Amino acid sequence: MRSTTLVRSVGERHPTLTRALHWATAILIVISVTAILCRETTEEKLVRRVLLELHRQLGLLVLVALAVRIGLRLGGAFASHTRDLGARLRLVATVAHWLMYGVLGAVTLLGWALSSAHGIHLAFLAVLPLPDVVAADSDLADTLSDYHVLAAWLLLALVALHVLAALWHHYFRRDGVLMAMLPGRRVAR
């Protein structure tokens, strides 16, 4: 019978930058999705433009955060907290993380391409002009819009699985995987 009073081991936490980027990405995505959903509830043209531009800028910030996160992961700043898992489950976890990174990158790059296809020239934080990734083309914009939405739904499904996996680690395996990524300072023992 498992003890329900203590988690087996908190172990080491991920570096502060890794945790900050993880949670900043989550927050940026939630705000970005909220902006685009709120946009659909108003007819006011100025509000719609502001919400769409907010969505675009947050998407670009997510892309920058993703690039840094991948760099950190490849550089070894993402310690394994699943050493006691079997090889297959570790492989599944690794593939799931890389799949989520890939889909997150796809969502943001499709959004950038969609803006280009609509003839909209993006500037990161309204300062740094970005190149168009495709030529303006309304038919292509329609196709890219469908792909962007489809990729966003796929990302939502992967995030839901990610959350379920974190909860499984915390409540069933009772290991330190979830605690390693939570924000805040380490609790003294």
pLDDT tens digits for range 57-115: 999 999 999 999 999 888 876 666 666 778 898 888 889 999 999 999 999 999 999 99
pLDDT on residue 157 = 96
Tell me whether residue 10 is in a domain: no
Tell me whether residue 9 is in a domain: no
133 and 116 in contact (C-beta within 8 Å)? Answer: yes
Tell me whether residue 47 is in a domain: yes
| pLDDT exceeds cutoff 50 at 5 | no
DSSP assignment of 22-45, as one string? Answer: HHHHHHHHHHHHHHHHHHTT---H
E-assigned strand segments in 31-117: none
Tell me whether residue 186 is in a domain: no
> How many residues in total does the chain contain?
189
For residues 146 and 94, the model is more confident at 146
The domain spanning residue 50 has which CATH number? 1.20.950
Tell me whether residue 23 is in a domain: yes
pTM confidence score: 0.86
pLDDT on residue 85 = 78
Domain span at residue 94 reads 16-181
Distance, in Å, from the CA atom of 71 to the CA atom of 139, rounded to the nearest integer, reads 35
In the chain, how many domains are there? Answer: 1
pLDDT tens digits for range 23-42: 999 999 999 999 999 999 99
pLDDT on residue 7 = 35
Report the share of the chain in percent with pLDDT over 90: 67
Give the model's confidence band at 188: pLDDT under 50 very low, under 70 low, under 90 confident, else very high: very low
> What is the Cα gyration radius of the chain?
19
Distance, in Å, from the CA atom of 27 to the CA atom of 49, rounded to the nearest integer, reads 21
Torsion angle defined by CA atoms of residues 11, 14, 26 and 17, in that order, rounded to the nearest 10 degrees: 150
32 and 6 in contact (C-beta within 8 Å)? Answer: no
Tell me whether residue 126 is in a domain: yes
